[in-house]
Structure 1
């Protein structure tokens, strides 16, 4: 047998790589979100996606999106997520200043919500209360309050 016959044929490495990577694409999932109970007037919806308790507590999001909130509702999607646990924070920016406004004691005066419609005790809920299992495509709803 000749030494060169042991080397892969041209293009074989591409085929092998494609075969090895194919299952990774099958592992990706989409998180589809519907938001309801927003203001009747137009507003901007800010959505942040978290993949860890540390990120959620520290507001270090994995991804974020904004979208118009019309008629009190909006829909959006996070695509290609690795299977795991994720939590969402959302708020409706009703006055267009790009932040969640609060009263003098720190209570939100604009509508907000979390995945699983989780509620915190005098603050945001913890990651576990808001976490969603995303193993395959998931549809979830957040009701703003």
Structure 2
């Protein structure tokens, strides 16, 4: 009889352990400020760490009509480290228009309100940590 009791205890332990291994998702609330024109759309992308940030594939993406001075959205994510990139596609052509040397013509912004000087930011520059509870960030467009 000791063997079936051991198996029952083992099954109960494995069931509890597998449930605790499932990570609960939390919300990352993103507030985009300083929208100058109520036309076009606001593109908001969230990224996991990548070598070519912000030119790598985003984890998730939102497209919101630019109708007010600010917009808000939320992403459901697992706790971890992320970066957010935003731009205002004022002319609604689906791309971030750039000047000579790749300098953006349209308003843009990054998490931590990181302001690039001579090159695109690195993931570490814009990295935010999302824990087990909801987190809110604000990004001001340049």
Give TM-score scaled by structure 1 length: 0.79
Gaps of 5+ in 2: none
Corresponding position of 1:98:
94
- SS of residue paired to 1:71: coil
Task: Check whether the contact 2:44–2:62 (CA below 8 A) recurs between aligned residues.
Answer: yes
Question: Aligned-pair RMSD on alpha carbons?
Answer: 2.7
Aligned-residue offset at 1:119: 1.4
Task: Check whether the contact 1:39–1:94 (CA below 8 A) recurs between aligned residues.
Answer: no
Residue 120 of structure 2 corresponds to residue 128 of structure 1: no
Corresponding position of 1:143:
140
Q: In structure 1, how many angstroms separate the alpha carbons of the residues matched to 2:39 and 2:102?
A: 24
Aligned-residue offset at 1:5: 8.8
Residue 20 of structure 2 corresponds to residue 23 of structure 1: yes
Task: Check whether the contact 1:55–1:61 (CA below 8 A) recurs between aligned residues.
Answer: no
Q: In structure 2, how many angstroms separate the alpha carbons of the residues matched to 1:134 and 1:104?
A: 36
- The alignment covers a number of residue pairs equal to 140
Find the partner of 1:70 among 45, 61, 67: 67
Corresponding position of 1:119:
115
Gaps of 5+ in 1: none
Structure 1 residues 21-60: aligned runs within 5 Å: 21-24=18-21, 27-60=24-57
Distance change (3 Å), C-alpha of 1:125 and 1:29: same
Task: Check whether the contact 2:50–2:56 (CA below 8 A) recurs between aligned residues.
Answer: no
Task: Check whether the contact 2:53–2:121 (CA below 8 A) recurs between aligned residues.
Answer: no
Aligned-residue offset at 1:57: 5.0
Aligned-residue offset at 1:95: 0.6
User: 1:40-93 deviations in whole A, cap 9, x for unaligned?
Assistant: 322211111111042525422222221122212110111032x21100111011
- SS of residue paired to 2:100: coil
Q: In structure 2, how many angstroms separate the alpha carbons of the residues matched to 1:30 and 1:55?
A: 25
